[in-house]
Chains A and B, each alone.
Chain A
């Protein structure tokens, strides 16, 4: 399929070389004095700080809090969006009646809700949830609407003429058709939800990784700031990988995944 002239193993080697190059660069630049160490600590210092932080319970608690906010918010948004999306998609006329409202509410940046969350909940998990749910809800909803609209009308009429009730139609026809779209929505929403979870902690001060970064920054612990940012990146990668894995599992019956697996 791909026209890269080399195989997976060489790609891996090149990729590792790239990462090593980044580490070497971050190590060399402050050591050679090109950038002051106070602003950019060498890579070994950053990684050592990260290792030391990882040995403390506080960091794991913060990490857990971030992940709880992320997972809970994502789950709430997901179920709400799927339920509402399927209803809007099925009930005739509802799609047309809601289009203008959805198109208006969707582009509202969720950080606009920061002051409201602060006012209502203060620095707490609820604030995080408000932002995370709002941001990820639309990502899933739009995909659910696409998915329900993609149901083959002949298949739909067939199901009706065979006397499938509305629940069976949702269960056996609409849900499987919409599932690939729903999973795309979930993947997009998972990334956005993580960004918003960290943002809420950073700006509002809800407990979690973001709040730790904020504390480290205001106390001038520069290597800790870098270490926590690296950790946030690693968690972000973990989130992406986990959702992709879930997508493959859930859609293993789907032709798009099956054809990918055989090539």
Chain B
């Protein structure tokens, strides 16, 4: 009985929404019914296209995201540990963060052409700022008592970096990584919509231009599922990295 109630609260509204979609879909050319979209989804994406368009896109996203993480955390620790460097660079970094990342696409097209390097570079240059600034903030706000304790016990070098600096700043770093992830997805799609002959963003725009409406909706659905899957994976990672933090109760304070 309880399981049934949970199933109804969990699936009730989505089922209702799909039914509404079904009912209203008859009248409009732009809104095909859900069955058609699901069929188009199956035909379009569960095929060779998954390897030709979807996986390379995701690969570029992963590559750019990892590079931005390494760069952002590395520089962030350096800047965060030195008050002088931080005071000098903060206005510059705030400026770079305030630039809406998609405007870098036309610029980087100019510098790096329209191939994979440009796309990865776009993702890196958009994702790095939230990670960098959050790392700086996290390192700045490290517990002073712990810093003194580390000094007292002679914890220094790599061990200090790993056990104290990165650990202590990790809640902030993860917050930056979460922001960067959604920016990264946006940039992955845009860089392909702009100038490209393959990739997820390109394919969806192509469908739209050829008025393949059901296929276009299936692409939107696929992007939604990718967003959902990535945010789920990120939550798993976050749980793991921050388990000490949630357990300590500090997260609630």
Q: Which residues of A contact B (CB under 8 A)?
A: 2-6, 10-11, 14-19, 21-22, 39, 93, 96-101, 104-105, 107-116, 118-120, 194-195, 198-199, 202-203, 210, 213-214, 216-217, 222, 225-226, 228-229, 232-234, 236-237, 239-240
Contact = CB atoms under 8 A, between A and B. Distances in A.
28 contacts: A17-B88, A18-B89, A18-B90, A18-B91, A21-B92, A39-B111, A93-B9, A98-B13, A100-B9, A105-B224, A107-B231, A108-B228, A109-B223, A112-B204, A113-B220, A114-B205, A115-B219, A119-B30, A198-B100, A198-B102, A199-B102, A199-B186, A202-B102, A213-B103, A217-B110, A232-B100, A233-B99, A236-B97
Contacts of A111: 185-186, 189-190, 193, 201, 223
B109 A19 contact: no
A22 B224 contact: no
Interface of B: 9-14, 17, 30, 83-84, 86-92, 94-107, 109-111, 140, 144, 182-183, 185-186, 189-190, 193-194, 201, 204-205, 207-208, 213, 216, 219-220, 223-224, 227-228, 230-231
B220 A112 contact: yes
Given A15-B90, A237-B95, A240-B98, 17 more contacts: A14-B84, A19-B92, A100-B14, A107-B224, A109-B186, A111-B185, A112-B219, A115-B204, A115-B216, A116-B208, A198-B100, A202-B106, A210-B103, A225-B106, A232-B103, A233-B99, A239-B98
B13 A226 contact: no
Contacts of B190: 111, 199, 202-203
Nearest to B29: A119
Contact of B14 (A11, A15, A19, A104): A104
Contacts of B140: 2
Give the secondary structure class of A's interface: helix
Nearest to B207: A115
A15 B30 CA distance: 52
The 4 closest A-B pairs by CB, nearest first: A236-B98, A115-B208, A14-B87, A217-B106
Contact of B87 (A6, A108, A216, A232): A6
Contacts of A202: 102-103, 105-106, 190, 194
Contacts of A11: 87
B92 A225 contact: no
A109 B204 CA distance: 14
A16 B14 CA distance: 53
Contacts of B101: 195
